[in-house]
Structure 1
Amino acid sequence: MRKLICFLSFILLCTGTTKLNAQPTFIKDSLNTYIEQGMQDWNIPGLAIAIIKDGKIIVMKGFGVRDVTTKAPVDENTLFMIASNSKLFTATSLAQLAYDHKLSLNDKIIKYFPDFQLYDSAVTKMVTIHDMLSHHLGTKTFQGDFSFWDSKNSRHEIMYKMRYLKPSGTFRQDFGYCNSCFLTAGEIIPKVTGKPWEVYVYDSLIQPLGMEHTQTLGYGISRMPNAAKPHTTAFAGKLQLLPYDQVDNLGPAGSLLSCVSDLSKWLMMQLDSGRYNGKRIVPWEVLRTTRDMATIISSRKRGDSHFSGYGLGIFETDYHGKQIFWHTGGAFGFVTNTCFVPEENLGITILTNQDNQDFFELLRYQILNAYLKLPFENLSKTVLPGFLDEETREIKKIDGWKDRIKGNTPPLPLKSYTGQYENTLYGTITISEERNNPGNLLIKFNSHQNLLATLQYLDNDEWLLTYNNPAFGVFTTSFLTKNNTVTGIPIKASDFVEFDPYLFIKK
């Protein structure tokens, strides 16, 4: 749900009437050092950044490495998975189709998918494209993502399974960030254009903007010559290489690959009312539709903000008297952001290839503070100690679990725990004895391509669950039993995927 290091090549562009010496002191004199120190402190292999001010590129640089093994450097064209920063591309496309009278954002989903169902039949009849683009279902943030993220489910199968997402909130009242909602909205595009989402977005936005490196699907990223590799320090405290996510099935919610040289063009268009290099890409009315607040997240003062909300594919808030639009994106091994401040004619994008860090957002605020002429405070150094303390506690907890692996015998014979288990939303998992490690159990997640987890018995009916993909995490769990018969098992994954555990019932 949800959720940069070393040094390297960079490009500093300064053209036209925007002079480098007109920029804030932090941007001119301290940005490079701040980033390099932050990457070291937060253990980030690679970072790319672009800053746009008054229609000019002020900074466009790559730092660190895209691959810790080859030491291949990050540059302005290095591709990162930008994940949920894809959402504004989807929302803009649908707003354009509405502007062209090809559809209405108030069209019911069942107009295009008559068999579509949600948990509540009344909501099924009412839910619109606009609802889907503004996270209005009332579900929890990231709900369903453990079933959908990196899964073998097709887009159609994900939409079908949305009927099993039981809301905890109220339709059109409570905000719950929902990736499957954006998928559903995006799948209306081929219904009205005859083009798949990935083709329409490319033809209508990517290609006209000249975003020549950007890909709408992540398939084949491992073979792309200038793609950053994903890393994490989560659950281990040390840098680990991760497999690339495979989320093309959730394409409209988050499958784009891009780089700062391309995203700078996207931000310039946002800041020039839909124009880029003097050419109209989308009408201003389309951008304004995406920015109109559709969901109130908070209207109470919090720190320097008085309100926050969500438009269509974009967050918005006030910050020291300025209206800020932004979105973040999180895929395993990548966290990224895009941000624009129309009143300041300022755009920022930051892409990183390590997902367990806050620096990518702290850097954004550090840049905002500089342009808004706020007193300097080193946000990275302020937040880092708390982050490291929390990380230390997490690792200590996991080490404590591992210390309890002493060859104890579970209360029931090992074969009692094996077999197939089912969760209505997810599907099935298979638990078997691990061949090479007697006494351990192996979970195969049948709705995922290559996801496995090991169960090692601890004591007191408790087992240690360790995924083969480190990003999914390390947790403890206990089998449910009745009359010495195993009936089920709760399974948890990283909060980066989904917050709540899944209960699997033994078949």
Structure 2
Amino acid sequence: MKRLLLLALFIFSTATFTFGQQQPPFIENNLDAYIKQGLKDWNLPGLAIAIVKDGKTVVMKGYGLADIKTQTPVDENTLFMIASNSKLFTGTALAQLDVDKKLSLDDKITKYFPGYTLYDANTTALVTIKDLLGHHLGTKTFQGDFTFWNTTLSRQQIMDKMKLLKPSMEFRQGFGYCNSCFLTAGQVIEQVTGKPWETYVQDSILTPLGMSNTYPLTLGIAGRKGISEPYTNAFTGTMTELPYDQVDNLAPAGSIVSNVKDVAKWLTMQLDSGKFEGKQIIQWKALQKTRDQNTILSSRASSTYPTHFRGYGLGVFESDYNGKQIFWHTGGANGFVTNTCFVPEENLAITILTNNDNQSFFEALRYQILDAYLGVKFTDRSQAMLKEFNKEQAETVKKTNNMRARVKGKQPELPLTAYAGQYQNTLYGNIEISVDKKDLLIKFNQHKFLTATLQYMDNNEWLLTYNNAAFGIFPLKFKIQNNKVISTETKVNDGLEYDPYLFVKQN
């Protein structure tokens, strides 16, 4: 553990601060030290940052390590999954097609997919492109994502399964963050242009902006030159390297791979009304459509930040911040958390890309930079967030260790063979539980590489440990009646999906 902390302290950059004019004192004098301390405090292997101000990239720098094993440093070219920061690319592409009269954002989805069906017939008949981009279905945040994320399902199969997502809120009356919604909206692009989402985004946005080291899909990510390794230290506190997510089946919701050098170009265009290096890339009217408030999230003042309202456009959050309007989004994939933010009134933009998914420093740093530029009295945002984070992390690690200590070779209520067999969940499909020496092994049939070990603890509780550390470690119980196994529930990391899945044993 000490070795990992020492590695997190290692700082490297091939880029420098390039101030063309005076920046706030925190940015000029304290930013570098603040980030170095943040890497140490949050056990963060690597981070890349870019700040755009008044049309110039005034900060572009890498810190720490992209790969702990090889000691490869992060620089401005290091690639990260930007995950849900991909959503604004999808919203922008659809808004541009609206401006070009190729579609209307108010078009019903059934216009393009006549067989598309949701849980509620009235919602099916009414849902529009704009509804999908505003997360209006009434489903819970992340609902269905365990079934969809990293699985072998095709895009069409995901769309077909959306009819099984039972809403918990009224249509258009609540906000439930929905990745399959963005997939469905993105699929309209191919219906209109003849190009799949990834080709259209490449041709209409990435190439014109000169984002030459940005990739719309995760396909081949492990072989990309300069790709960062993904890490987590959730559940155990030990830094663990993760496999790369494969989420091209949800591409319009979160598959883009990029670096701060390229993301800075995207943000520069956002600040210049759709222009980059004098050329109009996206029409201003299209950008306006992405920023129009599509969903009201909150109209109450925050006790922590100088903000009073919060909303969502077409793939971007928006709020006031000390009297200025800001736009931002975050992105989370297994092993990566990232953000983008722009403040047109201040001609300011920020992007921060990181390679440990179990930390909030990437957000604390964004707020600290906003405070510096927008005249907010200094509060150490990192230390304020860190106190609560450390408390929660300690409780999680303690819970994990306590469960592991309960694995003492005791025998379950029934023979191991009684638990083995096929189990089914209506949304997910099948899992297979088999005997593995003294334990049980779960194979998740929709996930190509995902398995989980079940070790018996006591009181009919088993320790569920996924082979992919990002999915988590949880207690599991089987429902037993008349000496027969009826069902079980599996849980995954809340960052993937909140609710457990009930799997019923098949005879």
Q: Report the TM-score range of the alignment, normalised by the length of the smaller protein.
A: over 0.9
- Residues in 2 aligned to 1:486 and 1:115: alpha-carbon distance in whole angstroms: 38
1:398 to 376, 379, 400: 400
Aligned to 1:165: 165
Deviation at 1:385, TM superposition (A): 2.2
Deviation at 1:6, TM superposition (A): 2.3
Is the CA contact 1:5–1:65 (under 8 Å) kept in the aligned structure 2? Answer: no
Deviation at 1:382, TM superposition (A): 2.2
Is the CA contact 1:5–1:46 (under 8 Å) kept in the aligned structure 2? Answer: no
Moved more, 477-486 or 283-292: 477-486
- Residues in 2 aligned to 1:317 and 1:140: alpha-carbon distance in whole angstroms: 22
How many residues matched?
497
Matched, 1:6 2:10: yes
Is the CA contact 2:324–2:343 (under 8 Å) kept in the aligned structure 1? Answer: yes
Cα shift readout 1:251-287 (whole Å, capped 9, x = no counterpart): 0000000110101110011011101111101111000
Secondary structure at 1:140 match in 2: coil
- Residues in 2 aligned to 1:35 and 1:478: alpha-carbon distance in whole angstroms: 43
Deviation at 1:414, TM superposition (A): 1.1
Moved more, 303-312 or 331-340: 303-312
Aligned letter for 1:324? I
Deviation at 1:5, TM superposition (A): 5.0
Aligned to 2:346: 344
Aligned letter for 1:71? Q
| Alignment TM-score, normalising by the size of structure 1 | 0.97
Deviation at 1:77, TM superposition (A): 1.1
Matched, 1:319 2:318: no
Secondary structure at 1:338 match in 2: strand
Aligned to 1:288: 288
- Residues in 2 aligned to 1:359 and 1:414: alpha-carbon distance in whole angstroms: 44
Aligned to 1:360: 362
Is the CA contact 1:231–1:240 (under 8 Å) kept in the aligned structure 2? Answer: yes
**Change in 2 beyond 3 A, CA 1:5/1:96:** farther
- Residues in 2 aligned to 1:461 and 1:72: alpha-carbon distance in whole angstroms: 46
Aligned letter for 1:12? T
- Residues in 1 aligned to 2:363 and 2:264: alpha-carbon distance in whole angstroms: 17
Aligned to 1:447: 446
Is the CA contact 1:475–1:492 (under 8 Å) kept in the aligned structure 2? Answer: yes
Secondary structure at 1:351 match in 2: strand
Aligned to 2:104: 104
Aligned letter for 2:478? F
Aligned to 1:481: 480
Deviation at 1:421, TM superposition (A): 0.3
Aligned to 1:239: 239
- Residues in 1 aligned to 2:471 and 2:366: alpha-carbon distance in whole angstroms: 27
Deviation at 1:439, TM superposition (A): 2.4
Aligned to 1:369: 371
Aligned letter for 2:434? S
Q: Following superposition of structure 1 onto structure 2, how do residues 18-37 of structure 1 map, counting pairs within 5 Å?
A: 18-19=20-21, 22-37=22-37
Secondary structure at 1:166 match in 2: coil
Aligned to 2:498: 499
Aligned to 2:4: none
- Residues in 2 aligned to 1:242 and 1:404: alpha-carbon distance in whole angstroms: 26
Structure 1: stretches of 5+ with no match in the other structure? none
Aligned to 2:255: 255
- Residues in 2 aligned to 1:36 and 1:220: alpha-carbon distance in whole angstroms: 31
Matched, 1:95 2:95: yes
Is the CA contact 2:476–2:488 (under 8 Å) kept in the aligned structure 1? Answer: yes
Deviation at 1:477, TM superposition (A): 1.2
Aligned letter for 2:177? Y
Aligned to 1:414: 416
Is the CA contact 1:7–1:36 (under 8 Å) kept in the aligned structure 2? Answer: yes
Structure 2: stretches of 5+ with no match in the other structure? 1-7
Aligned to 1:219: 219
Secondary structure at 2:58 match in 1: strand
Deviation at 1:73, TM superposition (A): 1.2
Aligned letter for 1:9? S
Is the CA contact 2:49–2:260 (under 8 Å) kept in the aligned structure 1? Answer: yes
Q: Following superposition of structure 1 onto structure 2, how do residues 72-221 of structure 1 map, counting pairs within 5 Å?
A: 72-221=72-221
Matched, 1:279 2:283: no
Aligned to 2:5: none
Aligned letter for 2:41? D
Is the CA contact 1:6–1:40 (under 8 Å) kept in the aligned structure 2? Answer: no
Is the CA contact 1:14–1:56 (under 8 Å) kept in the aligned structure 2? Answer: no
1:386 to 388, 407, 417: 388
Deviation at 1:26, TM superposition (A): 0.8
Aligned to 2:463: 464
Deviation at 1:354, TM superposition (A): 0.5
Secondary structure at 1:189 match in 2: helix
Aligned letter for 2:334? F
Secondary structure at 1:96 match in 2: helix
Is the CA contact 2:337–2:357 (under 8 Å) kept in the aligned structure 1? Answer: yes
Deviation at 1:236, TM superposition (A): 1.1
Is the CA contact 1:324–1:341 (under 8 Å) kept in the aligned structure 2? Answer: yes
- Residues in 2 aligned to 1:54 and 1:358: alpha-carbon distance in whole angstroms: 28
Q: Percent identity?
A: 60
Secondary structure at 1:382 match in 2: helix
Is the CA contact 2:17–2:61 (under 8 Å) kept in the aligned structure 1? Answer: no
Secondary structure at 1:188 match in 2: helix
Secondary structure at 2:177 match in 1: coil
Deviation at 1:13, TM superposition (A): 5.2
Secondary structure at 1:208 match in 2: coil
- Residues in 2 aligned to 1:107 and 1:377: alpha-carbon distance in whole angstroms: 46
Deviation at 1:10, TM superposition (A): 3.8
Aligned letter for 2:428? Y
Secondary structure at 1:504 match in 2: strand
Deviation at 1:374, TM superposition (A): 1.9
Aligned letter for 1:144? G
Cα shift readout 1:392-442 (whole Å, capped 9, x = no counterpart): 1111111111111111111111111100000011010000001xxx32100
Aligned to 2:337: 335
Cα shift readout 1:432-456 (whole Å, capped 9, x = no counterpart): 001xxx3210000000010000011
- Residues in 1 aligned to 2:18 and 2:388: alpha-carbon distance in whole angstroms: 37
Aligned letter for 1:500? D
| Alignment TM-score, normalising by the size of structure 2 | 0.97
